[in-house]
């Protein structure tokens, strides 16, 4: 994963410097900033592969920065915060974040999450998947090679995590996929009860983007107490 560009935005200089050292040691190119304005300018002028955003910034917050990024870019975003409140996590996911880590954290854990997000994201842009390259269902079309998704010929602006969830559900069309299975497939990590709102939050955001209904779903059907499915 060398030569990939990672953006760090944190107004706590010591934390930003620490993350920078660990990522450089892993072969990443690092763009480090202490404010949202400087970070946005860098994003517009450079190819960024992943961003690590602190929630609290001197000229705004990481949520608004995340929202601005998602208006144009789909690269993975990891949010950092000192708060461990569920509402912050839901807000981050709703605005397009892919992962979330609370301070204090172990630098090696953050590095591992950066690598996991980049593995998924770069896979979609480089892998040719033959006959499974295009997945479709009732006007919903996913192109795994170009990492694009359209619904009735209108492109959906999905985050990498949302794209992954939709792809898995389409591949398992007709079968129920549990939140635990989705979580493990995407994050390659153990599923704990404290994470049990992660997948439902992403599903809700997907439904909003697709104009789908939880009461009368055309696409993602909730099987209560079990998981989610696309009808065969």
What CATH number is attached to the domain comprising 190? 1.10.10.10
Q: In terms of domains, do 136 and 120 share one?
A: no
Q: In terms of domains, do 119 and 23 share one?
A: yes
Q: In terms of domains, do 111 and 137 share one?
A: no
pLDDT at 92: 67
Q: In terms of domains, do 172 and 94 share one?
A: no
The dihedral built from the CA positions of residue 66, 68, 24 and 11, taken in this order, carries a sign that is negative
- Written as six digits, the tokens of 123 are 């896979």
Q: Which residue carries 């998704």 as its tokens?
A: 149
Q: In terms of domains, do 173 and 220 share one?
A: yes
pLDDT at 156: 92
Q: In terms of domains, do 78 and 30 share one?
A: yes
Q: In terms of domains, do 132 and 119 share one?
A: no
Whole-prediction pTM: 0.58
Query: Among 108, 125, 142, which residue terminates a domain?
Result: 125
For the chain, what is the domain count? 2
Q: In terms of domains, do 15 and 69 share one?
A: yes
Q: In terms of domains, do 147 and 120 share one?
A: no
Q: In terms of domains, do 66 and 171 share one?
A: no
Query: Among 125, 141, 164, which residue terminates a domain?
Result: 125
pLDDT at 129: 40
- Tell me which residue range forms the domain holding 216: 128-229
- Written as six digits, the tokens of 74 are 């789909």
Q: What is the mean pLDDT of each run of 10 residues along the chain (232 residues)?
A: 85 92 94 90 89 87 86 88 67 79 89 89 53 76 86 89 92 89 79 67 92 90 91 74
- Written as six digits, the tokens of 53 are 């955003």
3-state secondary structure at position 86: helix
Query: Among 125, 157, 175, which residue terminates a domain?
Result: 125
């Amino acid at each position: 994963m060398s030569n990939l560009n990672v953006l760090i935005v944190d107004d706590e200089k010591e934390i930003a410097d620490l993350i920078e050292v660990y990522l450089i040691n892993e072969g990443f190119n690092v763009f480090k900033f202490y404010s949202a304005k400087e970070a946005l300018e860098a994003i517009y002028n450079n190819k960024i592969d992943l961003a690590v955003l602190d929630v609290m910034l001197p000229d705004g917050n990481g949520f608004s920065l995340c929202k601005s990024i998602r208006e144009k870019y789909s690269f993975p975003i990891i949010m950092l915060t000192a708060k461990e409140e569920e509402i912050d996590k839901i807000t981050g996911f709703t605005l397009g974040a892919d992962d979330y880590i609370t301070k204090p954290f172990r630098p090696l854990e953050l590095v591992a999450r950066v690598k996991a997000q980049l593995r998924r994201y770069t896979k979609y842009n480089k892998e040719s998947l033959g006959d499974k390259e295009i997945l479709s269902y009732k006007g919903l079309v996913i192109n795994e090679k170009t990492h694009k998704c359209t619904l009735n010929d209108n492109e959906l602006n999905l985050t990498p995590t949302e794209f992954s969830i939709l792809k898995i559900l389409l591949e398992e069309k007709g079968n129920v996929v549990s939140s635990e299975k989705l979580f493990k497939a995407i994050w390659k990590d153990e599923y704990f009860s404290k994470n049990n709102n992660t997948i439902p939050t992403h599903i809700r955001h997907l439904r909003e983007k697709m104009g789908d209904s939880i009461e009368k779903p055309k696409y993602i059907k909730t099987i209560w107490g079990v998981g989610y499915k696309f009808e065969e």
